[in-house]
Amino acid sequence: MSSITIWGRKSSVNVQLVLWALDELGLDFERIDAGFIYGVVDSADFCRMNPNGLVPVLVDGDGEPIFESAAILRYLADRYGDSNFWPENVVARAQVDKWAEWAKWNVGHAFIVNVFYGLVRTPFDEIDHDAVKLALGHLEKVLALADEKLATSTYIASSQFTLADITLGYCLYRYYDIDVARTELPNLRRYYELLCTRPAFQRHVMVPYDELRA
């Protein structure tokens, strides 16, 4: 099996997304701190791998560097995932992929940029609480769709754990950890608690993010 290297800090949710996938797939890897206070991303060597200067970046053996967490995740699923995690049948795969794509943007991006950044990564006296409340309301309308789906399914795309659960679940630890008044979404909460039993989720997602606090 190829040697896998990933560049990115443990506190980055987009890095956590990939680390969680690597662990679920049983893959050995080396992680190199990069981004935020760790630097590296503005070096010439790093920018040759990712001209955007962002993490994560993954290199599998002597392969070409891959950036963008969703692209990395699909690469790993294609190369190393089984038929439950990432179905071989294109019709079945599309059912997983549609939820994966939906979750990454509508839940992950919306939460991190509009809620988490506004509440945690903003100095306390600069927090726009009205804006955060509005963003949280929009987010929870989206999460209600997941809650409805999870009323009839153990995991978001099927009865099995799939790639889509990583792109939905990777932000839920912070969503349930931050100090906000949350809407009661019982099926989503049951789902989150199920994810919390997974050792790879515990190792790579349920980790402190104190270094990110403003």
Domains of the chain, earliest start first: 4-80 (3.40.30.10), 90-204 (1.20.1050.10)
pLDDT tens for 80-122 read: 999 999 999 999 999 999 999 999 999 999 999 999 999 999 9
Which pTM value belongs to this model?
0.96
Quickly state the pLDDT bin for 1 (edges 50, 70, 90).
low
pLDDT tens for 22-38 read: 999 999 999 999 999 99
Kindly state the percentage of the chain with pLDDT values over 70.
Answer: 99
Residue 2 pLDDT greater than 70, yes or no = no
Residue 30: which residues within 8 A CB-CB, separation 6 or more? 3, 4, 5, 6
How confident is the prediction for the chain on average, in pLDDT? 97
* Tokens linked to 209: 């993010």
- Is 144 within 8 Å of 86 (Cβ atoms)? no
Helical residues (DSSP H) of the chain, grouped into ranges: 13-24, 44-49, 69-80, 90-102, 110-111, 117-119, 129-150, 163-169, 172-177, 186-195, 199-204
Residue 152: per-residue pLDDT: 97
- Spatial CA neighbour of 204 closest among 176, 174, 156, 170: 170
pLDDT tens for 162-205 read: 999 999 999 999 999 999 999 999 999 999 999 999 999 999 99
- Is 30 within 8 Å of 6 (Cβ atoms)? yes
Query: How large is the average pLDDT for residues 60-83?
Result: 98
How far is residue 132's CA from residue 98's CA, in Å, rounded to a whole number?
27
Residue 21: per-residue pLDDT: 98
Kindly state the percentage of the chain with pLDDT values over 90.
Answer: 99
Residue 123 pLDDT greater than 80, yes or no = yes
Residue 183: per-residue pLDDT: 96
